[in-house]
Structure 1
C-alpha cells in the first residue's frame, strides 16, 4: 500500500508545487545563553508533533503606508524618474473570522465546529507616487496608502479571490492554482505580510525568548517585507534580491521615512 502523506490544507498545497515552492523561515532570539538547551529534542517534541498551526494576519495600514513611503524614497534615491513609475504591492490577508480560531487540540476533535486551517487571500495595493504629494508632507502619503488599503480590505474582492482559488483547486487541482498564484506574484513589485504576535513573553524549555521574526523565500519578487509584533514591539524584516536592491540604502530610506513621519505626527 502506498504510504499516506500527512493531509495538507488547500493553502499549503498551493505553496508547494512545481510552480511555487514557498518557505517560511522563523528566527527566535533567546534572552539567555542556550548552551544546555536540548535543541534536537525540543524541535522534535515541541514542533514536529504539531500537525497544523494557525495565525492571525495580514495588515496594519499605518505601518504599511510608512514602508511604502520609505520604498518610494529609495526608488527616488536610486533613479529620480522612478517616482513616477507604477508600483504594486501584494498584501497577504486572512479572510477567516478571528472568532473562529480554536486550539490545535480542539481542531483535532471530530466534532470541532471551527474552520480548519487559515483562509488566506491576497489583494493588490497601489503604492502611492511621490509626485502626487510633496516630500514635505509625508503624512498625506501615508493617509492615501491607508485609504487605499482600507478600501481594498472592505471590498468583496479578497473574499472572492479566495473562493475563486478554491474553486479552481476543485476543478483543475493545486498545480494550476500554484501556477496562477506565481503569475500573480510576478506581476507585483513587492509582497508584504503582517502578523500579530503574542503580547506576553514566550519561553522554550524555560529559556525566555527575547524577540523573534519571520521571512519568506522562494518567491519571484525582488522585495518581501514581513512584519511581526511581539510584546508590543514591531519587527520589520526585509528579504531582497541580491545584486538588484541595495539593502543598506533601502534600510536607510526606511529609517528616514519613520523619522519624517514621526516628526510630522508630533507637530500635528
Structure 2
C-alpha cells in the first residue's frame, strides 16, 4: 500500500525527470543520480505534544526539535516511462530507508558534535551535508480543521526555509484536508520555477489518471 510520502517522492522524481527533459533534451545519461535530503522526526511520541504534559518534570518528553537526516536518491529517466513506476521505485526506496537506523545515527552524530565541539562545528557539518545534496524535501502535517486568528479565517499555511545552499527546497504542508507543495529555488540554477511546478503538477495528474485506469482495468477483469 502506497503512503502520501511514497506518492510525494514519486511526483518529485517524475517531475525532476520531466523538467530535465525540457532543459537538456538528450543531454543527460539515463539513470543519472540526484540526491535529496529529508528531515525526519525521530520522537517516540509523534505529532504535537500537550503543553501541560511537557511541563511535568517526569513527562519523559524533551523540548525542542529531535530529527535526523535521510539521504534520498532519485534517478533521471527519459520521457515515456510508466507514471506509476516512479511511485513503485519511491515506495521500494522509502521502505528500505524505514528499516535502517540512518535517521537515528545522524541525530546522534549531530548531538555528539554539538556537545563536544560546539555549535560552530555542528553548523559546518550540516552545511557540508547540505552542499553535497541537490534538494531538500519535507512533509509537514498541519491542522486538520480550519482555524481563525482574531476572528479572521486562515485560508492557507506556508512554511519554508531560506539561505540553504540547495538548488531546490520543497515542503508539502497539509491544512484542513488539503495539501500544498511549496517550492523555493536558486534562480541561477533553476531560472524557470514555474516550469518546474508545472512538471510536478503534470506528473501528479498523469499518476492519478494511470491509477484510475489501472483500477478500472482490474475491476473489469
TM-score, scaled relative to structure 1? 0.73
Quick check: 1:199 aligned with 2:144? yes
| CA distance in 2 between partners of 1:101 and 1:231 (Å) | 16
1:118 is aligned to: 65
RMSD across aligned positions (CA): 1.8
Distance 1:257 1:148, change over 3 A: same
Find runs of 4+ consecutive structure 1 residues off by over 6 angstroms. none
Secondary structure of the residue aligned to 2:195 is helix
2:206 is aligned to: 260
Q: Which has the higher contact order (CA 8 A, sep 6+)?
A: 1
User: 1:168: Cα distance to partner?
Assistant: 1.3
- From 127, 130, 134, the equivalent of 1:189 is 134
Contact 1:89-1:125 at 8 Å conserved across structures: yes
Contact 2:16-2:76 at 8 Å conserved across structures: no
User: 1:193: Cα distance to partner?
Assistant: 1.0
Distance 1:100 1:252, change over 3 A: closer
Distance 1:61 1:231, change over 3 A: same
User: 1:96: Cα distance to partner?
Assistant: 0.8
Contact 1:69-1:141 at 8 Å conserved across structures: yes
| CA distance in 2 between partners of 1:143 and 1:167 (Å) | 36
- From 188, 212, 226, the equivalent of 2:157 is 212
Q: How many corresponding residue pairs?
A: 208
User: 1:153: Cα distance to partner?
Assistant: 2.5
- From 3, 8, 24, the equivalent of 1:79 is 24
TM-score, scaled relative to structure 2? 0.87
| CA distance in 1 between partners of 2:158 and 2:146 (Å) | 14
| CA distance in 2 between partners of 1:190 and 1:232 (Å) | 26
Secondary structure of the residue aligned to 2:13 is helix
1:45 is aligned to: none
Structure 1 residues 42-81: aligned runs within 5 Å: 60-80=5-25, 81=27
Structure 2: segments with no counterpart, 5+ residues: 215-221
User: 1:184: Cα distance to partner?
Assistant: 0.4
Q: Deviations over 1:80-138 (max 9, x none)?
A: 3335332001011111123585223432343433222221111101113315xx62411
Q: Deviations over 1:190-246 (max 9, x none)?
A: 000111111111111121112112111010001000110111111000001123211
| CA distance in 1 between partners of 2:21 and 2:162 (Å) | 26
Distance 1:79 1:116, change over 3 A: same
Structure 1: segments with no counterpart, 5+ residues: 1-58
| CA distance in 2 between partners of 1:243 and 1:229 (Å) | 29
